[in-house]
Amino acid sequence: MGNKQNSSESQHKNNTSLASPQNRQKTPDGEKQKEIKMIGPMNKKQLQFSIWYFLAAMGILFYLNALVDIPETTIEFSEFKKKIEAGEIQRVKLGERYYTGFLQTRQTLEQLTREKKKVERTYRTTPVEDPSLIALMDKKGVEYYKVPITFLEMLVTATVSWVLPFILILIIWRFMFSRMGGMGGVMSFGRNQAKVVAEGDTGVLFDDVAGAEESKEELKEVVDFLKTPEKYEAIGGKVPKGVLLVGPPGTGKTMLAKAVAGEAKVPFFRISGADFVEMFVGVGASRVRDLFKQARENAPCIIFIDELDAIGKSRSTVGMANDEREQTLNQLLVEMDGFEARGGVIILAATNRPNILDPALLRPGRFDRQVLVDRPDLLGREAILNVHSKNVKLEKNIDLKKVAQSTAGFAGADLANLVNEAAIMAVRVGREEVIQKDFEDAFEKIVAGLAKKNRVLNPKERKIVAYHETGHALVAALTTGAEPVQKISIVPRGLGSLGYTMQLPTEDRYLVTEEEMLGKIDVLLGGRAAEKIIFNQITSGASNDLARSTEIAKKMITEYGMSEEFENVVLSSHQPTFLGDGSLQSREFSEETQRYIDQTIAKMIKQRFQHVMQLLQNKEETLHAVATQLLTTETMDATEFAQIIHHSSKPK
């Protein structure tokens, strides 16, 4: 009874905390994007444009050239000579491109002009190296003179023989590079591309990001830093430079970063890690430099680097040396060290693989803060569904909570997609409103695609996971000295993990007692024991727990001398390997001892399992209470957990 009361209480509490997203005004889709600098290569349109200008200019040039030249009859050189021979041609203009023959001498021409009966017939021919021509003209008394090349002629000659081929080569070159997809990098040599976008007013606020309450809470501080840095300076505190948003794709990391900028009302520079890595060494590094320069000019502002792992991969884990990426990473580190956060530039970065990041990136003064952006729980999913169906016409009595219940494991982006697909389903059958069935159909369609990527559990599996996690948590609560339970979750987390129970130590510990080690084993075995008690069957889900409990038992016997036969004796020696990721174990004992170790481990685990079974059987009611609550809320924090235990263990 008490249990029921509690559950509705906690639901109520969570509902109120999520009320705000529903009152929102703006949708994330309505955000404005303002591109500031667009440095980089000309785009296609511009390219075509300039070619047209060029062709027009050429046309005008040729037209002018034609105007200057008087229309003439073009004849062959030999005929030209013949006309001189015959005395027909009286005067010859030796031009650069043509020889022009006139039928009158200058004198007669002047006379004719005076008499206003100027009829001048001219012949034109292409020059030939022929010294006899001069001799011939001398003999015939022909007037001849050479004219220097005109500016226009020079221009046309140069254009045809030099500029045109050059432009042609340029066009071909550009075309080839655009084919290779790397034109930007070549043409702009390290200048940031259009992708560096300052979204002055991102239009996203924290209220637009539904669900991720814990992440928002941590980021609110960053907003405060940006708004009132004086407050922190006054007390001598250092403002953080970098915050790393860690979480699976589509959980709203980009949205959160935008929301920080939106709340603090500062410009937002966004670039993807992959954009830095170009085919030429040095391009990435100079892009980083440029990015920070721009950011400093626009401070206070936020730089958001998406997919940080694309440049930040640990330098030791990549087999082949990648100079370009390494240089880029180094430049990023240098820039981060070099600026004072006091300048008002804060770097947010997102990654879904924090474990492969170079440790140098996570050092103090760099990305020393990490904010987890996890897949949403039930209430989070409902809130996100509400946000995204704001502009969708829904049937009146639609139950989004039900949709949320069936979508465990969906990230925000999947849910946004679900709403969209449901709307498409409705349109397809010619309905004007989205009904519950549309959501179900859309869900099926998406799950088929997502099955590989995210795990979506069936109801039976969800139940098993809920009891499994409760088993861990309850044993932890019942074991003295065990680390207290911080959070229980049955939200699938992609690859492998179906749920988790998080325990946090209350203090730093350097020594562990034998009893505590046994306690750890108990907690690990609690999951499988709960499955056995409730379903009378065991599943593969406990394999990781078993591996860890066996490891502890083994260490107790071989390293800490905690067995009967080898009391206070160490049975293995550890040599740290130079790779630093583990140690090389060498066996320095007999086959017989090995057998003893194996048997003792088995015996120890068996005993502990029996003990845990006993423990949980005595508390079966609490086990049900916690698991039932978990099945509805999917996550549970320490307080809720403690309350349920308290209520259900009260004497009736």
Least CB distance from residue 15 to ligand ADP, whole Å? Answer: 17
Least CB distance from residue 411 to ligand ADP, whole Å? Answer: 6
* Strand runs labelled E in 232-351: 242-246, 268-272, 301-306, 345-351
Our CB check for ligand ADP shows the closer of 348 and 644 to be: 348
446 burial level (CB within 10 Å; 0-12, 13-18, 19+) = buried
214 is catalytic: no
Our CB check for ligand ADP shows the closer of 209 and 631 to be: 209
For residue 592, what are the CA distances in angstroms to 53, 89, 305, 316? 91, 124, 57, 41
Q: What is the signed CA dihedral for 551, 557, 563, 565, rounded to 10 degrees?
A: 130
What token pair was written down for 376? 């949403």
CA–CA dist 84, 95 (Å, integer): 17
DSSP, residue by residue, 540-577: GGGHHHHHHHHHHHHHHHHTS--SSTTTT---EEEEE-
Least CB distance from residue 249 to ligand ADP, whole Å? Answer: 4
CA torsion sign for 587, 591, 595, 600 is: negative
Our CB check for ligand ADP shows the closer of 22 and 649 to be: 22
Our CB check for ligand ADP shows the closer of 350 and 552 to be: 350
Our CB check for ligand ADP shows the closer of 350 and 478 to be: 350
Which residue bears the tokens 């869900």? 443
Q: In the chain, count of helices (H) and strands (E)?
A: 26, 16
Return phi, psi of residue 245, to 5°: -95, 120
Residue numbers at the binding site for ligand ADP (CB under 6 A): 28, 209-212, 249-255, 350, 384, 387, 412-413, 416
Our CB check for ligand ADP shows the closer of 40 and 492 to be: 492
* Amino acid letter, 605: I
CA–CA dist 613, 532 (Å, integer): 8
* Amino acid letter, 51: I
CA torsion sign for 28, 30, 31, 35 is: positive
Which residue bears the tokens 């680390």? 483
Least CB distance from residue 407 to ligand ADP, whole Å? Answer: 13
CA–CA dist 418, 29 (Å, integer): 16
Our CB check for ligand ADP shows the closer of 276 and 304 to be: 304
Provide the 3-class DSSP secondary structure of residue 98.
coil
Least CB distance from residue 208 to ligand ADP, whole Å? Answer: 7
CB 633, CB 382: distance < 8 Å: no
For residue 396, what are the CA distances in angstroms to 380, 432, 440, 442? 22, 12, 17, 19
Residue nearest to ligand ADP (CB): 412
Least CB distance from residue 416 to ligand ADP, whole Å? Answer: 4
Least CB distance from residue 256 to ligand ADP, whole Å? Answer: 7
Our CB check for ligand ADP shows the closer of 206 and 641 to be: 206
Least CB distance from residue 267 to ligand ADP, whole Å? Answer: 18
Provide the 3-class DSSP secondary structure of residue 123.
strand
583-605 b/e (C-beta count within 10 Å ≥ 16 → b): eeeeeeeeeebeebbeebbeebb
Strand ranges of the sheet holding 268-272, from the earlier edge strand across to the other edge:
197-198, 268-272, 301-306, 345-351, 242-246, 369-372
CB 401, CB 382: distance < 8 Å: yes
Our CB check for ligand ADP shows the closer of 84 and 378 to be: 378
Return phi, psi of residue 141, to 5°: 70, 30
The bridge status of strand 485-489 relative to strand 369-372 is: unpaired
Catalytic residue among 326, 335, 421, 469: 469
Least CB distance from residue 273 to ligand ADP, whole Å? Answer: 12
Return phi, psi of residue 344, to 5°: 90, 15
Our CB check for ligand ADP shows the closer of 30 and 59 to be: 30
Least CB distance from residue 306 to ligand ADP, whole Å? Answer: 7
Taking CA 440 as the corner, what is the angle to CA 434 and CA 441, rounded to the nearest 5 degrees? 85
> Which residues are marked as active site?
469
